[in-house]
Amino acid sequence: MPESRPVSTFFSILVAVSAAFLLLLLLVPFISETPGKTLASFLTGPFRSAYYLGNFLHRAGLYALAGLAMVLSFQGGMFNLGGEGQVYTGALGTTMVLLIFPDLPGLPGILIGLVTGLLSGALLAGISGFFRMKWNTDELISSFLLSSSLVYTIDYLVSGPLRDSERYLLSTPEIAAAFRLPIILPPSHLNMGIILVLLLIWGTHRFLYHSSVGYELRITGLNREFAGYGGIPVNRYHFLPITLSGAMYGLAGSLYILGMGHATVQGCTGGMGWNGIAIALIARTRPFLIIPASLVFTFLEAGAQNAVVHSDFSFEFGAILQAVVLFFVTARFFRPKIFKKGAK
């Protein structure tokens, strides 16, 4: 994906959000019998209490990590379409290793769970990278097919052989309380995992823009033929970006288990893989801009959910607002001429 300037990207996010809220203001009187209540519920929903605010930030953190996964993939010129399965695999891997070793001390157990989730996602995505490197297999197709097959396989395991018969949900048993991340803002789910997400965003920026491997990855993503002429081992960057992307997705699944879910519930990924693609596109593949992009995306989702609960707002309209933001952010023609000068 081509690199964009931070100021231009921030402007495009601002324009897109303004367009979404303008659409909300214009259409709410026609889709709701109580427009005032609907607007108030939508706009203040994530801030109604510490519980709502904490859950909003927790969800934004998971989405930011999913978006970061796609930043790594896009910057290397690869398209990882298997995020959903990689998150799910990371979640199940973390759950199972902590259920197998329930007597581990808390901190070592948490670290082992995180590493297991990271490796699970990296392994699944790395298969597609290896296929691309070895046989030039389209990673978009292979990552999607592998992910889809794993999603159905995990669904079967969670509802069958691995199911906890004492729970009404289709889920595995819960991990021990010692392995759960400390809560920052009770009674919400916001936990110490948010700090790890912020560190990873900073680390990814340093990696991409302040390291030789990151430079080679970005150059290869922009133009593989040029990178090859420059002596860069292009084949390596068929494998590395998508594997790193899968690692971040797997880690997102792990943080979900350690911080909120505490067990792998059927369908617990909740579209996190697909949302990661949208957030990375909103941020124009810039690591630090993942933060405002994930906050905007999560705010629209949380506001829509709150308005559905407290008014006659349609959740489908919330999805339309997210689509409007994505459309305006990714529409290059909407960028002002001052930002286009000198850009390809």
Instruction: Judge whether 286 lies within some domain.
Output: yes
| pTM of structure | 0.90
What's the whole-number mean pLDDT along residues 323-327? 76
What pLDDT is attached to residue 47? 87
List Cβ<8 Å contacts ≥24 apart for 315-322: 317/27, 317/31, 320/23, 321/20, 321/23, 321/24, 322/20, 322/278, 322/297
What pLDDT is attached to residue 8? 63
Does position 327 have pLDDT exceeding 80, yes or no? no
In whole angstroms, what is the distance from residue 294 CA to residue 66 CA? 9
Does position 339 have pLDDT exceeding 50, yes or no? no
Asked if the peptide bond before residue 187 counts as cis, ω within 30 degrees of 0, the response is yes
For residue 318, the enclosing domain spans: 6-338
**3-state SS, residue 191:** strand
- Residue partners of 269: CB distance under 8 A and separation at least 6: 84, 87, 88, 91, 253, 256
- Residue partners of 308: CB distance under 8 A and separation at least 6: 314, 315, 318
What sign results for the dihedral spanned by CA atoms 303, 306, 312, 315?
positive
In whole angstroms, what is the distance from residue 168 CA to residue 153 CA? 20
What pLDDT is attached to residue 331? 64
- Give the number of domains in the chain: 1
Instruction: Judge whether 343 lies within some domain.
Output: no
> Sorting pLDDT into bands at 50, 70 and 90, what band is 1?
very low
Asked if 24 and 320 touch (Cβ cutoff 8 Å), the reply is no
pLDDT in tens, 66-115: 999 999 999 999 999 999 999 999 999 999 999 999 999 999 999 999 99
What's the whole-number mean pLDDT along residues 259-275? 91
Instruction: Judge whether 306 lies within some domain.
Output: yes
- Give one DSSP letter per residue of 317-344, joined into a string: HHHHHHHHHHHHHH-GGGS-HHHHTT--
Q: Which percentage of the chain shows pLDDT scores above 70?
A: 92
What pLDDT is attached to residue 344? 41
What pLDDT is attached to residue 330? 67
Residue 302 or residue 153, greater confidence: 153
Average pLDDT along the chain: 88
- Most confident region among 9-13, 125-129, 229-233 by mean pLDDT: 125-129
Asked if 255 and 165 touch (Cβ cutoff 8 Å), the reply is no
| Triad 211, 238, 68: Cα angle to 5° | 60
**3-state SS, residue 141:** helix
Instruction: Judge whether 1 lies within some domain.
Output: no
* Six token digits for residue 164: 């906890």
Residue 240 burial (CB count, 10 A): 21
pLDDT in tens, 195-228: 999 999 999 999 999 999 999 999 999 999 999 9
First CA to last CA distance, the chain: 12
Instruction: Judge whether 271 lies within some domain.
Output: yes
- DSSP 8-state code for residue 171: B
Instruction: Judge whether 344 lies within some domain.
Output: no
Asked if the peptide bond before residue 336 counts as cis, ω within 30 degrees of 0, the response is no
- Most confident region among 89-98, 228-237, 266-275, 289-298 by mean pLDDT: 89-98
Instruction: Judge whether 173 lies within some domain.
Output: yes
Does position 340 have pLDDT exceeding 50, yes or no? no
Residue 185 belongs to domain with CATH number: 1.10.3470
**Range list of H helices, 210-336:** 212-222, 224-229, 236-256, 272-282, 290-310, 315-330
The secondary structure of the chain in percent helix, strand, coil, rounded to multiples of 5, reads 75, 0, 25
Asked if 60 and 189 touch (Cβ cutoff 8 Å), the reply is no
pLDDT in tens, 175-201: 999 999 999 999 999 999 999 999 999
What pLDDT is attached to residue 94? 97
